[in-house]
A and B are shown apart, each in its own frame.
Chain A
Amino acid sequence: DGGITQSPKYLFRKEGQNVTLSCEQNLNHDAMYWYRQDPGQGLRLIYYSQIVNDFQKGDIAEGYSVSREKKESFPLTVTSAQKNPTAFYLCASSIWGQREPQHFGDGTRLSIL
């Protein structure tokens, strides 16, 4: 079945440590997105990518980095510069520039040890 796979489902980070969240899609979508969701809040855009080897900052990019070396993959690194990383991270993909909807993975929950 086509879809978006995020891993791991749960992740713990120590102080000063960088961690990488995986996002893979087999929907052949050009665009991919990373959102952050805090308890009781809506989603906030971290980074997005329209095509391979290109990505743009969203509303809250500080302390995060991404890469887009393959169409299928859009990993997110939460760096030690992100001082409040505890959140639910969601990856999505879509056909860019069209009215087609974004489809989401099941998320990664990141906590601080």
Chain B
Amino acid sequence: DAKTTQPPSMDCAEGRAANLPCNHSTISGNEYVYWYRQIHSQGPQYIIHGLKNNETNEMASLIITEDRKSSTLILPHATLRDTAVYYCIVRGHGSSNTGKLIFGQGTTLQVKP
């Protein structure tokens, strides 16, 4: 599975959009990009995932560059409850994969009033 790079921390004003970047320059063709977040002392929460097209759900939007070497998670109207550590994970699928998710250090997003 490809490695990802994320900034260690970011701040965002409440009500504004939070844009969290992720670099995955070694991503291969069958690997998906997943985003999770973890609030202190809770289990990781799935947010969104995609292969090459941009994706949107009720929580967030995922923008993947055309060359797929980077992506951005967008929380359109951040609230204080969005303060968490956000993880970008690249994962392949196939018989050789255990299915495990490799969580790096993530980005700590602090939403401020």
Q: Which of A42, A50, A103 has the most CB of B within 10 A?
A: A42
A105, CB-defined interface residue at 8 Å: yes
A104, CB-defined interface residue at 8 Å: yes
Residues 4-25 of chain A, each 1 if its beta carbon lies under 8 Å from chain B, else 0: 1010000000000000000000
Residues of chain B at interface, number, CB under 8 A: 23
Nearest Cβ distance between residue B22 and chain A, in whole angstroms? 14
Secondary structure of the B side of the interface? loop
A71, CB-defined interface residue at 8 Å: no
Secondary structure of the A side of the interface? strand
A106, CB-defined interface residue at 8 Å: yes
Q: Looking across the interface, which residue of chain B has its beta carbon closest to that of A59?
A: B100
- Chain A interface residues toward B at CB < 8 A: 4, 6, 31, 33, 35, 42-43, 45, 48, 50, 56, 58-59, 88, 90, 92, 94, 96-99, 101-107, 109
